[in-house]
Amino acid sequence: MIENYEIEINNIMINYMCALKILEAQIEVINDEFQYKYNHNPIEHIKTRVKSVDSIMKKLEKYKIDFSIDNIVNNIFDIIGARIVCSFKSDIYEIVNIIKTSSCLEVVEEKDYIKNPKESGYSSYHLIVNVPVYLSTGIIKVKAEIQIRTIAMDFWASLEHKLKYKFSKKLPDNIKKELVDSSKIIDDLDNRMNYIKELVSKY
């Protein structure tokens, strides 16, 4: 059955692949603009990805949504995604503001998990954006997810992800507490580094 689904999904994947190229280019433009105007490179690195067909199907099942191309397009907004890792916490909000005022990318949803971390301790800034794709048949808007976080937040999230997958069930409470406590240390470190950045800028 998954093979039949895969054929149908593959027919729309060209739209997502084109949108990802445009998204990557826009992020590079943001980085270049910072470098040129402010002599400051806010982005440490960028990682992009495309969900596999298997992941798409699992997400439909998780949300109890029937399979159809329309249901995929209208309900799964992270088939393509970009993770922007910044040096400082203040860089995150500057990049968010640039994306919001972009004439190319249209923000349709945002979640600030930095000011309001998840219960697990997870911190990041999430945006869902419409990416315009110019096809021979006309312009379509493709949704993409952008995650923006600091190096320290990315370090915590990567290790938390690895630790979670070592357990087939929920994490034990003592490990959950350790992760939350460590996320607070990460946040304190980010705040200290941001403060040092401000001190340096005064000189």
Q: Is the pLDDT of residue 26 over 70?
A: yes
User: What is the distance between the alpha carbons of residues 188 and 182, in angstroms, rounded to a whole number?
Assistant: 10
User: What is the distance between the alpha carbons of residues 56 and 142, in angstroms, rounded to a whole number?
Assistant: 15
Model pLDDT for residues 38-67, shown as the tens digit of each residue: 777 889 999 999 998 889 988 999 899 998
Query: And the tokens for 27?
Result: 């992020």
Query: And the tokens for 22?
Result: 């445009």
Q: What pLDDT score was predicted for residue 124? A: 98
Q: Is the pLDDT of residue 73 over 80?
A: yes
Model pLDDT for residues 76-87, shown as the tens digit of each residue: 999 999 999 999
DSSP class of residue 95 equals H
Mean pLDDT of 10-30: 92
Query: And the tokens for 59?
Result: 């997400």
Select the more confidently predicted residue: 142 or 54: 142
DSSP class of residue 111 equals E
What is the H or E stretch that residue 86 is in?
A: strand 80-86
145 is catalytic: yes
Rg (CA), the chain: 19
pTM higher than 0.85 for the full model?
A: yes
Ranking 54-63, 93-102, 161-170 by mean pLDDT, the lowest is 161-170
pLDDT category of residue 3 using cuts at 50, 70 and 90: low
Phi and psi angles of residue 101, each rounded to the nearest 5 degrees, phi first: -95, 5
- Please state which CATH number belongs to domain 2-156: 3.30.460.10
Q: Which of 3, 94, 145, 198 is catalytic?
A: 145
Q: Is the pLDDT of residue 2 over 80?
A: no
CB 196: neighbour CB atoms within 10 A?
11
Q: Is the pLDDT of residue 1 over 60?
A: no
Q: Is the pLDDT of residue 24 over 90?
A: yes
When the pLDDT of each residue in the chain is averaged and rounded to a whole number, the result is 91
Q: Is the pLDDT of residue 14 over 60?
A: yes
DSSP β-ladder status, 43-50 and 125-135? unpaired
Alpha helix (H) residue ranges in the chain: 2-38, 53-62, 69-75, 89-100, 151-164, 173-202
Total residues found in the chain within this entry: 203
Q: Is the pLDDT of residue 184 over 80?
A: yes
User: What is the distance between the alpha carbons of residues 42 and 32, in angstroms, rounded to a whole number?
Assistant: 10
What is the H or E stretch that residue 66 is in?
A: none
Select the more confidently predicted residue: 38 or 201: 201
User: What is the distance between the alpha carbons of residues 117 and 124, in angstroms, rounded to a whole number?
Assistant: 8
Measuring CA to CA, which residue among 38, 26, 155, 181 is closest to residue 85?
155
